[in-house]
Structure 1
Amino acid sequence: MKKIISTFIIAASFYNGLHAQSAPKVSEEQLYRPNFHFSPKKGWMNDPNGLYYKDGVYHLFFQYYPDGNKWGPMHWGHATSKDLVKWEEQKIALAPDALGYIFSGSAVVDKNNTSGFGDAKNMPVVAIYTYHNPNREKDGKIDVESQGIAYTLDNSKSWTKFSNNPVLKNPGIKDFRDPKVTWDSKRQQWIMALAAQDRAHFYASKNLKDWTFQSEFGKDLGAHGGVWECPDLFPIKVEGTKEEKWVLIVNINPGGPNKGSAGQYFVGDFDGKTFTVDALFTKQLQKDKAAWLDWGKDNYASVSFDNIPDGKRVIIGWMSNWEYAQEVPTEAWRSSMTVAREVSLKRTKEAYILKNVPVKQLQTYEGKAIQKKINLKAENKVLGSSEIDLSKAILDLDLKKLTAGTYTFSLKNSLGEEVLFGIDNNSKELFVDRSKSGKINFGNHYATPVTKAPLDQSLSNAKMKVVLDKTSIEIFFNDGEKVLTEIFFPNEKFSELNLSTDSKGASVSVIAHQLNIK
């Protein structure tokens, strides 16, 4: 008997050895490189910078360290797209110099050549960025950051730094960075929103070279769990009206609603010098303390593009979190960007809501629709691997006749790994749980606690648009009124979607599209 068992064990070991040898090794590239979210070919990436549109091309610059997979001496990397979906990486645009590293900033199309950098044939694009001087930092100085500019006359193929940089010197503030510049058409001036430690500063200029301080905002408003970074100030029409408001996006690290870094926003008015929060929005802040652009862990430094056609406002963010970004389980490169999102402003009796949804251009890559309606039982199979590749897909989920209870979608693979998301109609929350999603033992607070976004009331109906890539989920709830963005690192791609509930009588309608992006 022992001999038979031994023979069986030897045979099994031999078979397993052969099987292991013959099983194809899945590379980091195959497993974790996003299918359509932008990621650099190599090196470290964080904040998006210098976003603009010109001559049929969208330009995305980004904080970049090409010589390592963790944060280092910052450059501006560069990528371009004709549709905000497929991105092509270009050569480095701006590199450190004697004044310091090239930190975050923005770029504007100077249509009237206010800067004087252009000529009769060439309209300049001007980049405005932060210089971070590591030598002064080592010496314990406070004023390590100042603002510089550079310009291009050939659609960002080459850049020239201004000879009289910096154009805005540090007034004695430790964190003094991330200039976001916009054209104020009513006052015919450039306005710079700048992060100044725990508040925003506003400056004005007629020529992008000479800047005058106007005002500050935010010392006692909004979330203050960390330093303020990457502000963005812009006008926007309220949906369905002619009313124009100004929105100020301010990113914060740490201090987000689910730990770590995140983006908040304010709604108000701007008179060319001062930003004032709207009275209705003030009531929101008294109730909620802060309004969040995205409740997920992985959307930081969202800023908008300059010069987008048809007056649209489009943003893109860094899809990671400073709590663990430098330890995620990729080695050749680190980080990706969110999908580009169009923002709109909705007003209700109780609140202003800055909505964001995927840009319409993503729809051009949608394949044939899979449509289903499922009357819910305790356990429900929604989509299987034979129907759709869930590593690049868009799902529209429409839930009806919800009652008290929990509705949990599970994105699974054959290894038993899963990402859970859904609605807890008892506690009135949206949630994402990636505690069993694969590789989770890195950084701080990656897998815990469960990410949550509050709902104003229990729901009878709910809609979710879900954008899936290999290593990310972006959930746009009720047309982008609440958004949750999360990254994950399974050991095998997710291949099926199920739904479980402890309630009865509800249904879900599913429209799923394969994304045909190479």
Structure 2
Amino acid sequence: MQNYTLEAAAKRQNEIQESLKSQPQNFLLPVFHAFSPAGWCNDPNGFSFFGGKCHLFFQYHPYSTQWGPMHWGHLCTSDFVRWEILEPALAPDSDFDCEGCFSGTAIEFEDRHILAYTGVSKNKNGETLQNQCLAEGDGLCYKKILQNPVISAANVPFEFQKGDFRDSKLWCEDGKFYMACVLKMPDGKGSLVCFRSENLLDWKFVSVIDRSSGKSGMWECPDIFKLDGKDVVIFSPQEMKADFENGLHDGNNSVYMTGFLKRPEFIFEREMRTENSLNFAQIDGGIDFYAPQTCLAPDGRRIMIAWMQNWESYITPKNYLWSGMMTFPRELEFKNGKLFQNPVRELLLYRKKCECGVVSGTSSFIKNGFSHGDIELEFFSAFENSADCKNQDEKFSLVLSRNVAGKKFSVEFTCDFAEQTLCFDRRNSVEGGGKINFRKMKFPPSSFRNEKSAYEKRISLRILIDACSMEVFVNGGESAFTNAFFLIPDAFVSSENSAVLEMSVSENIRAEYKIFKI
């Protein structure tokens, strides 16, 4: 069995970083997204401000591009755009976390950076145990406290599946500390529970904040915060069934609920949503969005980041030295009862010279050498009444492609006015785009206006493309659609494999575009 230590993880990370400098893969690295410095990464952890910078930790296995015994990797940034690679913060090197340091959060307290995480171990019978642990540090180096684990199964006053008790959300309120965790009930359903402490060491059970209503299995990665006067709970439910009308898909989803967190009971009362029959909603309709986590910026903005991958669809090329990246950080706000999300405004400072124009009719636009950019698009079509637009071909498509050794690898994003859907297709990317290679979502209702003078269809899109990802923000952030991809097998990567961006529209559509390289 490998002996996992911080020193070994840091050494491995440095080796991979040096190797990447001379590897062809270096041409395809993201430039404005956080991504794994070495090997595998998944959930964002400990997303928080400390020492004047924003820190991002993440689930990390630097020894391969496959999931393995979890460490905590560590990045930091001053502007959410450029990320500094720091040495790993946690390794599974203790009896209480020898099977992995799973997800958690972080807060600043008395000039210390406090990390709350889940320690995974096994008992004498070989059964998996998950308990909550703490570490503290100065922004660079972190040490686990001697009293770990601070919360175990003994703190929970009812039966549950002890191998699924994880993902600690830590916060301070009214001079006390609170920790929310998810656990699996005996029937396999997820539940969100709360504990309270006066000193971070001695914890008492408070409540079941909320639990699965039967539409999902285990819950993961909870976050609780206030936004525009509402209490918000976000989490990632597993074993969901597809519900296209409400934007849900089979398997793992990431959703949010609004309502009222009753105090001192700490029980969440969900608010029924007006646009559907559910009291929760999908955060992002794309293939690759999971385990979102937020932090509160010093200027009051609530910022969200998530893992840009899907558990059901692994797409990293075989010889890559890194696997996994994060979404670009997003500012959150509520408008008209809905969660809006947009790229943090700092990205605007990195925009280079604008290229703008109009695409109409059946015309197209082709741009060579495009791999990293920020695109703004406005589409419009109008008819005298809604009946006139039936059976009309009204599509916009954006295709990003690379030609390698006589073969074209591509991904296509389509906006279909007639069908009222957005689609992403990566079936023609490397290795067919994985097990899940196509995703479709509905337009937001705000895209359509039926007035006396005309039936209008309008949609505005902001699209971030960064080497191997495409994030689409619809109608000012009303919806989001995030998908990752790879366009070149590692063996064929070179600086000559330039990307081509092609844009085209069908009849009856007018499209205005602005393209900024980053």
**Would you tell me which structure has more strand in proportion to its own residues?**
2
**Residue identity in the other structure for 2:501:** E
* TM-aligned CA distance change 1:220 to 1:47, over 3 Å: closer
In the alignment, structure 1 segments of 5+ residues that lack a partner are: 1-25, 114-122, 238-243
**Residue identity in the other structure for 1:408:** F
Q: How does 1:31-180 map to 2 (within 5 A)?
A: 32-96=28-92, 97-100=94-97, 101-110=100-109, 113=110, 123-133=111-121, 135-136=122-123, 139-141=125-127, 144-152=129-137, 154=138, 156-170=139-153, 171=156, 172-173=160-161, 174-180=163-169
CA contact (8 A) 1:260 1:321 kept: no
Q: How does 1:195-344 map to 2 (within 5 A)?
A: 195-197=182-184, 198-221=190-213, 223-224=215-216, 226-237=217-228, 244-255=229-240, 257-272=248-263, 273-281=265-273, 283-284=274-275, 286=277, 288=278, 290-305=280-295, 307-325=296-314, 328-329=317-318, 331-344=320-333
The corresponding residue for 1:406 is: 394
Equivalent pairs counted in the alignment come to 448
Deviations 1:59-82 (A, max 9, x none): 111111121211111111111111
Shifted more, 466-475 versus 329-338: the winner is 329-338
Deviations 1:190-221 (A, max 9, x none): 33221112121122233322222222244344
Q: CA deviation at 1:338?
A: 1.0
Task: Work out which of the two has the higher radius of gyration on C-alpha atoms and give 1 or 2.
Answer: 1
Whole-Å Cα distance in 2 between the matches of residues 200 and 377 of structure 1? Answer: 52
CA contact (8 A) 2:402 2:487 kept: no
Whole-Å Cα distance in 2 between the matches of residues 60 and 473 of structure 1? Answer: 21
Whole-Å Cα distance in 2 between the matches of residues 206 and 290 of structure 1? Answer: 32
**Residue identity in the other structure for 1:509:** E
Deviations 1:155-180 (A, max 9, x none): x2211211111111124433110011
* TM-aligned CA distance change 1:354 to 1:222, over 3 Å: farther
* TM-aligned CA distance change 1:102 to 1:408, over 3 Å: same
Among 466, 474, 499, which residue is 1:494 paired with? 499
Deviations 1:401-449 (A, max 9, x none): 356443232223353433222322233222222222x21346422x14x
Describe the SS at the equivalent of 2:349: helix
* TM-aligned CA distance change 1:462 to 1:362, over 3 Å: same
Among 427, 433, 441, which residue is 1:435 paired with? 427
Q: CA deviation at 1:27?
A: 5.4
Q: How does 1:343-422 map to 2 (within 5 A)?
A: 343-347=332-336, 352-374=337-359, 376-381=360-365, 383-385=366-368, 389-401=369-381, 404=389, 405-413=393-401, 415=403, 416-422=408-414
Whole-Å Cα distance in 2 between the matches of residues 338 and 231 of structure 1? Answer: 17
Describe the SS at the equivalent of 2:347: helix
CA contact (8 A) 1:430 1:455 kept: no
Deviations 1:20-60 (A, max 9, x none): xxxxxx95514542222122232111111111112321111
Q: CA deviation at 1:453?
A: 3.5
Whole-Å Cα distance in 1 between the matches of residues 214 and 352 of structure 2? Answer: 42
TM-score, normalization by structure 1:
0.81
Q: CA deviation at 1:93?
A: 0.7
Whole-Å Cα distance in 1 between the matches of residues 151 and 315 of structure 2? Answer: 31
* TM-aligned CA distance change 1:309 to 1:327, over 3 Å: same
Whole-Å Cα distance in 1 between the matches of residues 412 and 36 of structure 2? Answer: 28
CA contact (8 A) 1:106 1:180 kept: yes
CA contact (8 A) 2:468 2:484 kept: yes
Shifted more, 308-317 versus 469-478: the winner is 308-317
CA contact (8 A) 1:31 1:493 kept: no
Deviations 1:77-102 (A, max 9, x none): 11111111111111111111111221
Q: CA deviation at 1:103?
A: 0.6
